[in-house]
Amino acid sequence: MSILQSPVVRLGSGTVRGRRLDGHLSFRGIPYAAPPVGDLRWRPPAPVEPWAGVRDALEPGNPAPQLAQSFGEVTSLDEDCLTLDVTAPDAPGEGRPVLIWLHGGGGTNGSAAVYGARRLAVTGDLVVVAPNFRLGIMSCFGYPGLADGGTFGIQDQQAVLRWVRREIAHFGGDPDNVTLMGESYGALQIAAHLAAPGSAGLFRHAILQSAFSVLGTTPAHTFIPGLPELPPRWAAENELEAIGVAVAAERGWVTGDGDPLAQLRQVPVKDLLEVSGAFIRPAFGGAVLPESPADALPAGRFHQVPLMLGTTLDEARFFVGLFADLVGNPVTADSYPRLLAEAFGDAADEVAARYPLEDYGTPSFAWARISTDRAWARPAWELGQALAAHTGTWFYEFADEDAPPLFPGFPSGAQHSSALVYQFDFEGGPELPAPQRELADRMTRYWAAFAANGDPGWSSVDSGYVRSLTPKGVSGTDYVSGHHLDFWAGKP
């Protein structure tokens, strides 16, 4: 690496110039695969075309194609999105642990660009890689005759892992000490990599933050009030192909003349994105992901690396607040019994007795607590127990009930994604008070220790231990009792 004011790194595909900033080096928008455009739409990532001269790596690359949502304001129609950002300490050194960050966003949205990794790099002494990868219909589309359908985002991430293996030493990173880290949909992707043959040997540890229902189904209304029961987060190839055929026919994308895949590759991106939400479940049954992770992980058929996973104390407040209260459709005392009946059937009265409305400030708060416990805490704990039977596994709960709110108008507590402002710098994000900054630094040290040696510094989950993370102190918590998991065992 150059010691000039603007750091320069020579890669296998060409030379890049980054920036030296406030204790760290930043390289942005580095291509790790060819643009998946034209005939490369819905194909495995292809090699980068080498470039001559010095390429500026000063600005973030394009986000994956997506339409703006209430939880994400970015719109992008450009399929040229397979780039990554690298953040490294501005200090001499080599062989640093490498952290690859897979962003969340529901499977349809998100971008590496919003996650400033300075704190992780400087405080944690890590090299952080944050890629963009295909999302939604560009990632998980399936159609008869489409090879590798439903796995293109996973393959993009595998291309990132191989890029890190080849290139990260140029940034001071250790290619043999790589940790995959993801939140929400990014954590679900990591569950896929644990079972994917092509990811073997490319990472040493993994961190899954707020992974959603890796192993099973989700009762009606417990993800978002108003949504029916959700199927497993993994789709069989033939199921995905059937959905692709139905959507293409309904939209008129395929006519009776010519190659249907060639016709589909001509459909404008904006038209595709209108149905992107129907294609967020990775497919299993092919070469990329032969078996559903819901079956492979409990059976021990996965890459048995050290794992850290956890949730936030109030996960579901994000979804009840954003998609119910803030759109003028809160849970009410009248709707509460109906939601219980539709979600839990014959067990509805038991759930109502365990979560009486008078124990909560509003019916929406009561429903958020039920949803947190059933749709987030229970599946996360079951996943942790399944993984701990086969490999070292550490569990945590982010529990700062005074975490900065992500949107106004609904008391948010330690809701889904609230821990991210303690880990990353967000442009225009909140300034953390001193006690929360101390918690953020402590979390960074835990995550960095895990990335370095596969142990964050507390007891593993096979002892029943769960680390609670709050500004008031870091200690063990009775996760099972706190989320009524004994009650939920055996319930729908």
Residues with catalytic annotation? 184, 315, 416
Instruction: Give residue 154's region: left, alpha or beta (phi > 0; psi -120 to 50).
Output: alpha
Cα–Cα distance between 189 and 31 in angstroms, integer? 21
Structure tokens at 265: 């590759």
- Distances in whole angstroms, Cα of residue 466 to Cα of each of 126, 455, 479: 25, 14, 7
Measure the CA–CA gap between 420 and 115, rounded to whole angstroms: 9
Q: How many CB atoms lie within 10 A of CB 262?
A: 10
CA distances 322 to 166, 188, 366, Å, are: 42, 22, 15
- Residue type for position 484: H
Under 8 Å between Cβ of 392 and 490: no
Q: 242: Cβ–Cβ under 8 A, 6 or more apart, which residues?
A: none
Distance between CA atoms of 30 and 65, rounded to whole angstroms?
18
